[in-house]
Amino acid sequence: MDMITTTDSLAAACERLSRHPFVTVDTEFLRESTFWPKLCVVQLASTEEAVVVDAIAEGIDLAPLFALMANENVLKVFHAGRQDIEIVWHLAGIIPHPVFDTQVAAMVLGHGDSISYDQLVQRLTGAVLDKSLRFTDWSRRPLSVAQITYAEADVTHLRDVYRKLDADLVKRGRSEWVTEEMAVLISPDTYRQEPERAWERLRSRVRKPKDLAVLMEVAAWREREAQARDIPRSRILKDEVLGEIAAQHPTTPERLAGLRSIPKGFERSRTGEQILEAVRAGLARDPKTLPEIERERPLSNGASATVELLKVLLRMTSEQHGVAAKVIATVDDLERIAADHEPQVAALAGWRRELFGEKALALKDGRLALAMQRGRVIALPRPAE
């Protein structure tokens, strides 16, 4: 099978694909040495054909591909598609829509918490995929016949997986559940890499407002540097170094040099001076403008016992309805339900509330009891006193 290497061939293929109600999509990319993913290959398939696109072919314009991704009349089917969608967002500034993620659908249908593509293919179709080329260098040219065949298989089998999952969702009345789950995948907020928000993924490393202020400034500086130089964040500074700087907030080269994680001589470099400037900017922040630091609230003995009961209810619900427990509720959801009256958690919204949330509240309030019947846990309503 030949790869598509020209804009005209890509446009013709995308025009053909756009006549179908859905296309399956996968990408091959590299990210080990860059901040942004480097797109190398794109695979697409309809019910009639499959194409493999050389995304780094000289002179190729991917505009026809992005137009297809934005075509509202064509459903785009991915498996664990977050990184694939991020690539389209970064290169074209659009979110593919509408989308269907087979990994999410599989969780909703009880196939496990995060089932891999090859496992799902084997379970639903019986086919065994050769994953020996999973870690190949997709940027090297020419690609071998084996690589192209491997890439094509990722979207041809996905057609059968999608159809089987979709039929099962319709049969069990859960299509809308998956539609709800797609909201996060198609939100631009999921993919924005704003330097000012870089601290959020590191928030657990600080306990004091002053530390948080420094972390916000240093994390934003690192994010801007990583994006501008297109290298991984860790090549600039590792997370643990950011945490130490936030805790110690050095304002002079001597104090920066005194940190255990800082290499000798680093404090006199251009990067060292930029870090010190960021620390000073953080210390100059008005504490009133800082976001509130979330404190871990220890659960009372009663709440801890309630969490354990909620875990039993969750497992019972998962087994009874054939839905992965992880997708129904997280441990954090259960702890917040146990501790608060009616917290804003995913388990108490949408289909999750109908399936589990209402029972969780009833169990916590004493309106529901758990019992054993023939070796299985069941839930029973408690009569009003």
Find the mean pLDDT for residues 12-33: 97
Find the mean pLDDT for residues 82-100: 97
Sheet holding 22-30, edge to edge: 50-54, 38-45, 22-30, 75-78, 99-101
The Cα–Cα gap between 97 and 78 comes to: 11
Find the mean pLDDT for residues 49-75: 98
Take residue 263 and report the two structure tokens written for it.
């290499």
Residue 384 pLDDT class (50, 70, 90 cuts): low
Residue 375 pLDDT class (50, 70, 90 cuts): confident
Residue 152 pLDDT class (50, 70, 90 cuts): very high
Nearest C-alpha neighbor of 297 from the set 284, 287, 307: 307
On the question of pLDDT at 271 being above 80, the answer is: yes
On the question of pLDDT at 300 being above 80, the answer is: no
User: Taking a C-beta distance cutoff of 8 angstroms, is the pair 85, 191 a contact?
Assistant: yes
On the question of pLDDT at 302 being above 90, the answer is: no
**Per-residue pLDDT, 329:** 96
E strands present in the chain: 22-30, 38-45, 50-54, 75-78, 99-101, 368-373, 376-381
Take residue 71 and report the two structure tokens written for it.
């075509």
Question: Using the 8-state DSSP alphabet, how is residue 113 labeled?
Answer: S
DSSP H or E stretch at residue 364:
helix 358-364
Total count of residues recorded for the chain:
385
**Per-residue pLDDT, 135:** 82
**Per-residue pLDDT, 292:** 85
DSSP H or E stretch at residue 362:
helix 358-364
Q: Which residues contact 370 (CB under 8 A, 6 or more apart)?
A: 309, 312, 313, 316, 363, 377, 378, 379, 380
The Cα-based distances of 179 to 39, 75, 78, 108 in angstroms read 27, 12, 14, 11
On the question of pLDDT at 256 being above 90, the answer is: yes
Find the mean pLDDT for residues 126-138: 88
Of the listed ranges 125-139, 149-163, 277-291, 344-358, the one predicted with least confidence:
125-139
**Per-residue pLDDT, 81:** 97
Long-range CB contacts (within 8 A, 24+) of 300-307: 300/339, 303/335, 303/338, 303/339, 304/338, 306/338, 306/363, 306/364, 307/331, 307/334, 307/335, 307/338
Take residue 157 and report the two structure tokens written for it.
């089998």
Which of 302 and 177 is assigned the larger pLDDT? 177
Of the listed ranges 102-111, 206-215, 372-381, the one predicted with least confidence:
372-381
On the question of pLDDT at 297 being above 70, the answer is: no
The Cα-based distances of 300 to 303, 305, 357 in angstroms read 5, 9, 21
**Per-residue pLDDT, 311:** 96
Q: What is the pTM of this model?
A: 0.89
User: Taking a C-beta distance cutoff of 8 angstroms, is the pair 365, 359 a contact?
Assistant: no
Of the listed ranges 95-104, 119-128, 273-282, 336-345, the one predicted with least confidence:
336-345
Find the mean pLDDT for residues 53-76: 98
Residue 103 pLDDT class (50, 70, 90 cuts): very high
Q: Which residues contact 111 (CB under 8 A, 6 or more apart)?
A: 120, 123, 324
Residue 52 pLDDT class (50, 70, 90 cuts): very high
Mean confidence (pLDDT) of the chain? 94
Share of the chain above pLDDT 90, in %: 84
On the question of pLDDT at 298 being above 70, the answer is: no
